[in-house]
Every structure is written in C-alpha cells, then in structure tokens.
Amino acid sequence: MNKIINSEQFKKILDHLNKQEFDIALEGIKNLSVKFPNDLILNKLFASTYFKKSDWHNTIKYNKKILVNGKDKYLAYMNMGIAYFKLGEIHESIEAYKKSIEDNSNFEIVYNNLAISYIEIGHYEEAFINFLKTLKINKNNKFANKNLIYLLNFINPKNVQDHNFIEINCEIKKLVYQLEVNNINKIDFLKQTINQSDNIIKKYYKNLFFEETQIYRKNSQNLNCKRHFKVFKKFNIIPKFCFSCYKVQINLKNVIDLIKLYFVFDEINLENNNTRKCAIELRDKVKGNYKGYIYCGELNEATKVKEKLNKILISEKLNNFEIEIKHGCTEYYNSYPKFKKINFEGEQEFNYNENWHKQENIIDKLEPIRSEENKKILIQSSKGINLSDILIIKNWISYACIIGDHSYKKVYTNHIDVSFLSNILQNQINFRVKELKN
C-alpha cells in the first residue's frame, strides 16, 4: 500500500484528478495497475474517476471489484445504485441501495436515493417510508422534508404517529371537510381554510416553509417537458410533441381569484382528467401575475375545455378574468412567431419540420433505453387540499403582499414572511406592480 501511495505515479494521478483531467488520470491508474493488479486503492481510484466521467458501466464494474475485499461496502453499493439509476435500471438501483443499507443502516443519503428510485417507478408509498427513515437519522434533512410534503399530493398516509406532516395533513383535511359541511360563503370559507390551516401548522412548526410556487393536479400522462426544453435550448427547434400541445390559459387580476381557481381545478371533472396548474408568474418580463393552465393534447379538446371552464368561472364570480387557448410554451414564440398563431378552422400555418428529427434523436440518445419494467410511472394527484397546497398558497399571499395586491387581506390575517420571494422578485418589482395595475 505504501509503495503505491508514495510513488511519483500516484502523486501525478492525484494531481490530474484535482485538475479534472480524468482521461490522463485514467491512463496513469491503468499503468500503475499493471504493477499492482486488483489493488483496492487503485480500484477505488478507477471507480471514482469513472463516476466523475459519468461512465456508469465502468463505475459498476470497479465498485464490484471493491466489494470483493473492501471495507465500507455501503459506499460501493450506493455508487452502484446511482450508476444503475443513471442507466435507467431502476430495479437494480433499488437492490443496490438496499444492500448499502444492510451494510450501514445509518447512512441518510442512501435512503433519499432509494426513495427517488421508488418514485421513478410509481411506488410512492415506499418512497414516503424511506424519506421518513432519512428523517429518523437527521430530522433537518431538507431534501427528505421537501419530498415528504410533495408526496402528500399523491398519497394520504393514515398513521399520523409516523410524522408530524401526516398529522398536519389529516387535520387540514378534516378542517376543510367541516367548513364545507357548514356551507359558508366563499370568502369566509377561504379565510377560515387558510388561517386555521396555518394555525394547525404552527402548532408543530414555527416556520415551516416550502420552496414551491405552483400547485398541480396531475394525471398519469408524462408530458416530458424537461426533455422538450433540452431539445429547444440545444438546437433552437420545437419538438414534434409540442405541436400537438395546447393549453387553456386563465389570466387573473388578483390572488383571491387565483386561490378560487385552485379550488375549481381541484374539483373540476374533465373527460381526460387533464393536468392543470395554478401559478404566480416569476419569469422576468413575462406579462401577467396570476395564471392557471389546463394542458390538452389537441385543439378540439382545448376548445371544449375552455367552453366548460368559462361557464364555471363566471358562476364562481371571478373578477375580469381572461381565458384563451395557447399553442405550446411561451418560450418558443420569440424564435418562431408563427407557432403562436392558432387557426381554429383548419390546418395550422406553421408545422413541424421533419428534418428536426435528427436533432431530437441526438438528445434522446443521451438517455438510456429503459426496459418495460423500468419505465417511469407517474401517479395522478389526489383530490382535496393538503399541506403542500396550504404552504404554496401562503407563498402566493407573500407574492401579493410584495407587489401591492392587497386583496389577500380579505382572506389572510397572520404574519407574512416575504424573504423567499423578495430575493426572486428583486429585479422585477416595478414590472409586476405595473402588471397589477393593467
């Protein structure tokens, strides 16, 4: 061991690694391994270097060699789990993480990783359990806390003794049920729901915070928007999928109506249970402050959804709302103005360029081909207000306070913490205030 560590070759390898010259370092490791075959230190260097190069097959290969004679096997298994996940072999990653836990049951990172693997294949209950295990080791783990709150959009755990979040979630649901039974007017319902839910949270946490500003009600269809934006950002082309994507967009004037829209979206019955979203606008110089979206797979569907939704919003007495159908995402319009135009009578003026398939394939080849059992599975959102929703609505109220929308005072009387959104909005306050007045 000392011969390797004290050698000039080894010192040069470390120097190259520090400079992130991974290919040169690998040549040095290979040369040194000729003299010291199957040496544990060199196998660890191989595994670490291949990991940094995102060479996942070799990462697995050398971590398996470490397992033969190495200590701290939990680290090797964890790195194998990450590599399997990156290769799209989700079930293999789960098995590797489980073996890591068998070797060291007090390693919080691996529980987080295991939970993410479970989410990938739609096993949200198992994911929730493993995030709980993370918090038993470290109650301040922000990643686990955030994901527990997120998962309450999809599952409704019953055992309140497992974690305070579950108990809070149950209390909020009971509260809202009681308020609905009492059949009070809309503003009083909103006021009591938000303030009493906030008081429930404060019984357990003085400053529980959730860094999200959008509330979704999702179906199980994967829109794969991250992939589409990768294509657009890399090649400045619009992916083929996006040409069939239409959205019904609702533009609102105040935060009260955004909260009302959230309840509409939670309760509305649509033929295809379309994914829908309520959000505050945070993109620089994008017009409008409060918005809702319903995503549709064709123009005829969007037209029907718009007609149905328009009637509901009128009956809910939303103020001066605007409802429109938009094509794809706003980000595409500067590069392709014709994509924005919608022909409601026939063929669209701007259509997909079949030559763009080549660029799309380049992006797709960067992702592993998954077997059927390892395919990503999405779970549709549960109906009904939850802890996540209340925390995001509080962020909306913070946004309203910052931009001078005083309508929030009708429904919220507690202290407002504006620190999170003040940092995000610091360069666009004037723009947002003007949008409020328009």
Q: CB count, 10 Å around CB of 22? A: 16
Please enumerate in sequence order all residues whose Cβ is within 8 A of that of 85, keeping only pairs 6 or more positions apart, or say none.
93, 113, 116, 117, 120
Decide which of 122, 139, 160 is a domain's last residue: 160
Domain stop point among 160, 181, 199: 160
- β-strands 276-280, 322-327 pairing: unpaired
pLDDT one-digit tens code per residue, 356-403:
999 999 999 999 999 999 999 999 999 999 999 999 999 999 999 999
pLDDT at 2 over 80: no
Quick one: 265 and 363 in the same domain?
A: yes
Q: Is 278 helix (H, G, I), strand (E, B) or coil?
A: strand
Query: Is 48 in the same domain as 103?
Result: yes
Encode pLDDT of 189-244 as tens digits. Answer: 999 999 999 999 999 999 999 999 999 999 999 999 999 999 999 999 999 999 99
Do residues 285 and 328 share a domain?
yes
On whether both 280 and 203 belong to a single domain, the answer is no
In a domain, 168, yes or no: no
Q: Between the CA atoms of 302, 305, 306 and 308, what dihedral angle is there, to the nearest 10 degrees?
A: 160
Q: Is residue 166 part of a domain?
A: no
Looking at the structure, do residues 285 and 364 belong to the same domain, yes or no?
A: yes
Token pair listed for 396: 């909306």
Q: 159 CB contacts (<8 Å, ≥6 apart)?
A: 166
CATH number reported for the structural domain that contains residue 59 in this entry: 1.25.40.10
Q: Which helix (H) or strand (E) holds 280?
A: strand 276-280
The answer to whether the CB of 259 falls within 8 A of the CB of 250 is no
Q: Please give the order of strands across the beta sheet that includes 290-296.
A: 214-217, 276-280, 290-296, 246-252, 322-327
Q: Give a yes or no: residue 384 inside a domain.
A: no
For residue 381, being part of any structural domain is answered with: no
Whether 353 is covered by a domain: the verdict is yes
SS3 336: coil
In the chain, the number of structural domains is 3
Q: Are residues 241 and 182 in the same domain?
A: no
- Cβ–Cβ under 8 Å, residues 353 and 237: yes
| CATH number of the structural domain spanning residue 324 | 3.30.70
Q: Are residues 155 and 33 in the same domain?
A: yes
In a domain, residue 253? The reply is: yes
- Residue 231 and residue 140 share a domain: no
Instruction: Based on the fold, state whether residues 306 and 348 are members of the same structural domain.
Output: yes
In this structure, the answer to whether residues 53 and 193 fall within a common structural domain is no
Give the confidence band of 1 by pLDDT, cuts at 50, 70, 90.
low
| Cα 29 from Cα 432, distance rounded (Å) | 56
One domain for residues 48 and 13: yes
Residue 298 sits in which domain range?
215-374
**Angle, helix 142-151 to helix 387-403, in steps of 10 degrees:** 100
Residue 70's pLDDT band (boundaries 50, 70, 90)?
Answer: confident
d(CA 419, CA 135): 26
Q: Tens digits of per-residue pLDDT, 304-328?
A: 999 999 999 999 999 889 999 999 9
230 and 250 together in one domain: yes
Last residue of a domain, one of 160, 194, 225: 160
Report the distance separating Cα 411 and Cα 133, nearest Å.
Answer: 37
pLDDT at 120 over 90: yes
Amino acid sitting at position 59 = T
pLDDT of residue 175: 95
